[in-house]
Amino acid sequence: MRITASLQRAAAAVCLSACLTGPLQLAQLLPTQPALAISEGEINYKFPPIDKKNDATRCKFLSSAMGQANAARDSLYDLRECKMDGKDAEGFDLSGALMAGGDFSKANFKEAQLSKVYAKGANFDGAVFTNGVVDRAMFDGTSLVGTIFGNCVLSGTTFEGANLENSDFTDAYLGDFDQRKLCKNPSLQGENPVTGAPTRASAGCRVQ
Taking only the tens of pLDDT, the chain with its 208 residues reads 454 544 444 444 444 344 433 433 443 444 444 433 333 344 566 778 888 777 677 899 988 765 555 555 557 899 999 999 999 999 999 999 999 999 999 999 999 999 999 999 999 999 999 999 999 999 999 999 999 999 999 999 999 999 999 999 999 999 899 999 999 999 999 999 999 999 999 999 987 6
Tell me the C-alpha to C-alpha distance, in Å, between residue 201 and each of 51, 84, 141: 42, 30, 22
Q: DSSP character for 58?
A: H
pTM of the model: 0.76
In whole angstroms, give the CA distance from residue 197 to residue 1.
Answer: 16
Domain ranges of the chain: 1-18+78-208
What homologous superfamily does CATH list for 1-18+78-208?
Answer: E3 ubiquitin-protein ligase SopA (2.160.20.80)
The length of the chain is 208
d(CA 139, CA 120): 5
Alpha carbon 159 to its chain's center: 9
